[in-house]
Copies of this chain bind each other. A is one copy, B any other.
Amino acid sequence: MIKLTAQRQAILDTINQSNQHWDAEVLARALSDAGHSIGIATIYRGLTALEDAGLIEAIHLGDKKRYERSDKSHHDHLVCRVCGAIEEFFDAHIEQRQHDVAKQYEFQMDGHQLLIFGTCKQCFNRTKQGEKA
């Protein structure tokens, strides 16, 4: 159904060729740097279209929406409050229990989002060094 125009292809390629979690702004800059100057509105519309088509995935993180490849298996996210890094994880127990909970509440679950906030290993170590100094 979706029409993969040059702009949308560029957006999709950029996202697919990385493991990053892109927001519209950063993506626009990256595309521009790569020689594709795409209007920001087109990027927003393209991201929405690609998401609807299931070609990319979105997570709503705090104030902005981020997009990532959809050709990975399902996972959730560890978000570092210090550097903003996002690590991915998957836990079958948690997935299972979510379905159990939904069933218990007679809730037709169709998705979920689990964010674990904290400090990543790198930032934690850096901070410890800072305290020692």
Contacts and interface: CB of A to CB of B under 8 A. Distances in A.
A4 interface: no
Chain A, interface size: which category? Answer: 35 or more
Copies of this protein, total: 2
Interface stretch (A18-26, A28-36, A97-105): A97-105
B89 A101 contact: yes
B121 A102 contact: no
A52 interface: no
Contacts of A63: 60
Contacts of A114: 98, 112-115
Given A94-B94, A94-B98, A89 B105 contact: yes
Given A94-B94, A101-B89, A116 B112 contact: yes
